[in-house]
Amino acid sequence: MQRKLTVLWKTVAIFLVASSLLFSFSWYYTNAKPFISKWFYSSGWNSVNETVTETVTTPLEDAPPSPPSNSISKNGNATLLEMAPSYVKAIMTPEDTSFPRLACPAPTSDRYLYLKTSSTNMTHGSTIRPKYFFALDLHQCASLLPRLMGSIIESIRFLGPQNCALSIIEGRSTDGTFEILFSLREEMERNGIKYYFNSSDINPTVGDRIKALAELRNQALQPLLDHVDKTSPTTTTTVVFINDVALCMEDILELVHQRKYRNADMTCAMDWTYVGPDPTFYDVWIARGMNGDTFFSIPEDGNWNSAWNIFWNNPSAHERQRTGKPFQAFSCWNGATAFTAEPFLESKIRFRTSYEHECPQGEPKPGARSCGILGTAKSQ
């Protein structure tokens, strides 16, 4: 199984850049080591020595600390709470082998070092809007959590806990997902990680699915919008929204890196699943190439027989994807995405139901902020 890397990018309007190889849940563990050790084959895209280390702005001296967010709407199941600690341990410990999980390459390069901001004063961490805001909506995926949450924790440790916040909305799980994430709080506090966790009864399988998913995504972002810091520049925060996928720390850092490096508003990974022997691009509903077309041809009857003929009518994306280079796309979400928090913080957009083509293509001003970001993407 070949791990493929693809980066999509778009510098002007919204959307993407980005990255990687996320395997959808059911394939998340494997004893193969399907990884490429180098992300990019072409040196042209490989210059990592960016010097943009943003420094944190002056702390707000008198801002009150963020209120502890402990009012969660349920208590959890006693049996499941009992098994939660072993998951929590696996999540917090990359070397833990209690649960099968996708093997990740040991991070080697200095590629992402510049993303760290070491100078932040911990004392003020909670009063400054985080530079990296991780957001997730999760449902019924306990067995995925050691890999998914483990990689997020590794990334947060790498980026500096004082620069990060993690926000999770769980919903309707009966497999321990709620209990594990609930139990994670203590460890998060011990590690100095700002953690917002809540549970929602919203059920996307009943009624308007997209509306429900959009609301859940908005809930996950809410702690960022509610943040006490209203004065730091809105451009300094990157939201990393991750679905229920198996991914590695490197995937996350690559998304963040590509967004900065290309000065893109949004970068996306590519989400691969298996519908047959070869990796199959999953998120066809949202993803559109710069030619406005889906990534592979889907005829009227909806069959995926052309799934392996990706970018059949888009030679430049085809070539770049084939050679592991980032490429520009018109829209994307896929398994993970990193985007600027600016339009959300400035109340210009929220997740909502929408059509892809509602978004005007190629708005010349940096960041076509009026576009609705689609609250769709595979989740659950």
Ligand X SMILES: *[C@@H]1O[C@H](CO)[C@@H](O)[C@H](O)[C@H]1NC(C)=O
Q: Does 69 bind ligand X (CB under 6 A)?
A: yes
129, 236 contact by CB (below 8 A)? yes
| Nearest distance from C-beta of residue 60 to ligand X, angstroms | 12
Q: Could you give the CA distance from residue 90 to residue 60 in angstroms, rounded to a whole number?
A: 36
Find the binder of ligand X among 71, 97, 108, 347 (CB under 6 A).
71
Q: CA separation (Å) from 233 to 31, 56, 156, 223, 366?
A: 44, 10, 21, 17, 16
| Nearest distance from C-beta of residue 369 to ligand X, angstroms | 27
Q: Does 47 bind ligand X (CB under 6 A)?
A: yes
| Nearest distance from C-beta of residue 257 to ligand X, angstroms | 14
| Nearest distance from C-beta of residue 114 to ligand X, angstroms | 10
Look up residue 122 and give its two tokens: 């911990």
Find the binder of ligand X among 31, 73, 97, 347 (CB under 6 A).
73
Find the binder of ligand X among 123, 277, 299, 365 (CB under 6 A).
123
Which CB, 70 or 347, lies closer to ligand X? 70
Stretch in the footprint of ligand X (CB under 6 A) among 23-31, 77-85, 257-265, 272-280: 77-85
Which CB, 41 or 319, lies closer to ligand X? 41
Which CB, 6 or 127, lies closer to ligand X? 127
CB atoms within 10 A of CB 297: 16
Pairing of strands 271-274, 22-24: parallel
What single-letter amino acid sits at 44? G
Q: Does 79 bind ligand X (CB under 6 A)?
A: yes
Contacts with ligand X in 234-273 (CB under 6 A)? none
Contacts with ligand X in 330-349 (CB under 6 A)? none
Q: Compose the 165-204 pattern: x for residues touching ligand X by CB under 6 A, - for all others.
A: ---------------------------------x-x----
| Nearest distance from C-beta of residue 313 to ligand X, angstroms | 35
Which CB, 73 or 108, lies closer to ligand X? 73
CB atoms within 10 A of CB 42: 10
Q: Does 51 bind ligand X (CB under 6 A)?
A: no
339, 373 contact by CB (below 8 A)? yes
Q: Which of 198, 54, 63, 53 is nearest to 125 (CA)?
A: 63
Pairing of strands 132-138, 238-242: parallel
Find the binder of ligand X among 121, 305, 306, 313 (CB under 6 A).
121
Stretch in the footprint of ligand X (CB under 6 A) among 72-80, 249-257, 314-322, 361-369: 72-80
| Nearest distance from C-beta of residue 317 to ligand X, angstroms | 26
Q: Could you give the CA distance from residue 23 to residue 102 in angstroms, rounded to a whole number?
A: 9
| 35 SS3 class | coil
Q: CA separation (Å) from 95 to 88, 100, 108, 156?
A: 13, 11, 16, 16
Q: Which of 156, 344, 136 is nearest to 220 (CA)?
A: 136
DSSP per position, 209-245: HHHHHHHHHHHHHHHHHT-S--SS-GGG-EEEEE-SE
Stretch in the footprint of ligand X (CB under 6 A) among 71-79, 272-280, 334-342, 347-355: 71-79
Which CB, 26 or 119, lies closer to ligand X? 119
132, 164 contact by CB (below 8 A)? yes
| Nearest distance from C-beta of residue 155 to ligand X, angstroms | 22
Which residues are at the interface with ligand X (CB under 6 A)?
Answer: 47, 49, 69, 71-73, 77, 79-80, 121, 123, 198, 200
